[in-house]
């Protein structure tokens, strides 16, 4: 673990700490039964803001090899994410006229959930995915994958071997990289002068305004505004030519990055909104920290009241955000009987810190807990649709974010 001496984007020091969630285990370090008797490493989880470039970031860096060497997250187990990827690919192919002579590269390509749609359209692709277990799943889909961490050196090597990319995808990865400037330099190196990079990142304003504090964990080093991203890309002679807000992951930005196309009105509009919101001020994060404390009190009160009434509780979604939520609350198996999850790569293990067992979703109908805490609240519609049988039999869900409610 390394304490952050200066801003990951511009190098400014010191940073302003706005929220401390305390020592936390690594959110995706799922435990085996044999590990339950051993202590878990915990690392400080503090959120800070750079007063120079406005980048919000955590203050500790856990080595990427520790976080992503053997990774339990497979994007294809979310129907919502696969559908989202397919719709985007159709749009990019149509608007950019991508074809058999093009090259599409995805940084952090996971199990091929996105690139598979290009492959089916006969378009050459290349994935970059450092987690070897996840990369194997992509290769089984016929997606050539480089199992290395992306940066400027790798980008130079890829250009030598494959040429520059007409389209680069980077979805929910920019927040994960400790060498932020190295990755952006790599994008500038790999991108064809007439190409585009399509980048998606969770949006800071949505995180703050919707009290989505559970999306803060050690894998997510940075939390982006359009303002901070504009300053970052301009330093590397790249331009945000277009930006749109999209609903995935509780609210995200989709950026179109080019080597010089003039920015659309959407970029100036969102940056003006952020200026009025206070992107260069402390106030939004101070208010956010206050709401996080209130949410903790209210959610714990609800869980305690239900237990006091003799109700049985479980959870759904063994996601990283669930680890942050439960560890911040101090909730474990004394409150939750289990957490259900569709991924067989997680079933049979235990949530870090909270140590709640992870089971298949079929357990919901078998055990029929009275209430299920929805840890993957960003997929609430999908999950509650899948669990219609549980709901018909009287089961109810607790959605914790932005404020606890029972549905």
Reported confidence tier of residue 80, pLDDT bands at 50, 70, 90: confident
In tens, the pLDDT along 249-308 reads 779 999 999 998 788 899 999 999 999 999 999 999 999 999 999 999 999 999 999 999
Pick 75-264's CATH classification: 3.40.309.10, 1.20.1300.10, 1.10.8.420, 3.40.50.150. 3.40.50.150
The Cβ of residue 246 has, within 10 Å, a number of other Cβ atoms equal to: 13
**Bridge partners (DSSP) listed for residue 255:** 199, 243
Start-end of H helices in 238-379: 265-277, 283-308, 320-329, 362-367
Quick one: pLDDT at residue 1?
A: 47
Cα separation of 385 and 316, whole Å?
13
- Mean pLDDT of the residues in the chain: 93
**How much is the average pLDDT of 297-320?**
97
Quick one: pLDDT at residue 4?
A: 67
In tens, the pLDDT along 213-242 reads 999 999 899 999 999 999 999 999 999 999
The Cβ of residue 131 has, within 10 Å, a number of other Cβ atoms equal to: 22
Which percentage of the chain shows pLDDT scores above 70? 96
Q: How many CA atoms lie less than 13 Å away from 325 in the CB half-sphere?
A: 27
Which percentage of the chain shows pLDDT scores above 90? 85
Put residue 268 in one of left, alpha, beta given phi > 0 → left and psi -120 to 50 → alpha. alpha
Contact 138, 157 (CB under 8 A): no
Quick one: pLDDT at residue 72?
A: 57
Contact 17, 59 (CB under 8 A): yes
* CATH superfamily assigned to domain 284-406: NAD(P)-binding Rossmann-like Domain (3.40.50.720)
Q: Is 355 helix (H, G, I), strand (E, B) or coil?
A: coil
Secondary structure percentages of the chain, helix, strand, coil, to 5: 40, 25, 40
Domain boundaries, the chain: 2-59, 75-264, 284-406
Distance of CA 82 to the CA centre of its chain: 15
Cα separation of 71 and 99, whole Å?
32
- Number of residues that this document lists for the chain: 407
**Bridge partners (DSSP) listed for residue 351:** none
**How much is the average pLDDT of 66-95?**
77
pTM: 0.89
Q: Can you tell me which residue has the tokens 């050196």? A: 153
Q: Is 369 helix (H, G, I), strand (E, B) or coil?
A: coil
Cα separation of 310 and 88, whole Å?
46
**How much is the average pLDDT of 181-185?**
96
| 180-190 helix and 226-235 helix, angle to the nearest 10 degrees | 60
Reported confidence tier of residue 100, pLDDT bands at 50, 70, 90: very high
In tens, the pLDDT along 108-156 reads 999 999 999 999 999 999 999 988 888 999 999 999 999 999 999 999 9
Quick one: pLDDT at residue 69?
A: 56
């Amino acid at each position: 673990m390394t304490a952050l001496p200066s801003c990951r984007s511009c190098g400014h020091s010191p940073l302003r700490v706005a929220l401390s969630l305390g020592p936390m285990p690594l959110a995706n370090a799922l435990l085996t039964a044999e590990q339950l008797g051993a202590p878990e490493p915990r690392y400080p989880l503090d959120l800070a803001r750079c007063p120079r470039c406005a980048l919000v970031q955590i203050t500790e860096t856990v080595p990427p090899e520790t976080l992503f060497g053997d990774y339990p997250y497979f994007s294809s187990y979310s129907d919502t994410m696969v559908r989202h990827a397919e719709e985007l690919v159709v749009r990019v192919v149509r608007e950019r006229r991508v074809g058999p002579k093009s090259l599409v590269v995805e940084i952090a390509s996971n199990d091929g959930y996105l690139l598979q749609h290009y492959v089916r359209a006969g378009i050459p692709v290349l994935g970059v995915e450092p987690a070897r277990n996840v990369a194997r799943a992509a290769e089984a889909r016929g997606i050539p994958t480089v199992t290395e961490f992306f940066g400027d050196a790798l980008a130079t090597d890829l250009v030598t071997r494959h040429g520059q990319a007409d389209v680069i995808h980077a979805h929910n990865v920019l927040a994960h990289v400790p060498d932020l400037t190295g990755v952006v330099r790599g994008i500038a190196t790999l991108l064809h002068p007439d190409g585009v990079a399509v980048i998606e990142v969770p949006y800071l304003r949505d995180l703050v305004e919707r009290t989505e504090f559970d999306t803060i964990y050690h894998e997510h080093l940075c939390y982006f505004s359009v303002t901070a991203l504009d300053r970052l890309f301009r330093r590397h002679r790249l331009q945000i030519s277009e930006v749109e807000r999209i609903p995935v992951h509780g609210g995200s930005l989709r950026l179109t990055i080019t080597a010089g196309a003039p920015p659309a009105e959407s970029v100036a509009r969102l940056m003006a909104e952020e200026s009025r919101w206070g992107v260069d001020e402390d106030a939004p994060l101070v208010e956010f920290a206050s709401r996080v404390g209130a949410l903790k009190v209210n959610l714990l009160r609800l869980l305690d009241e239900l237990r006091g009434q003799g109700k049985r509780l479980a959870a759904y979604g063994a996601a990283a955000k669930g680890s942050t939520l439960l560890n911040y609350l101090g909730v474990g198996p004394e409150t939750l009987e289990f957490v259900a999850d569709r991924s067989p790569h997680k079933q049979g293990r235990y949530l870090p810190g909270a140590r709640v067992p992870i089971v298949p979703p079929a357990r919901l109908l078998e055990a029929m807990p009275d209430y299920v805490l929805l840890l993957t609240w960003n997929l609430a519609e999908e999950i509650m649709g899948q669990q219609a049988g549980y709901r018909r039999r009287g089961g109810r869900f607790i959605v914790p974010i932005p404020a606890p409610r029972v549905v």
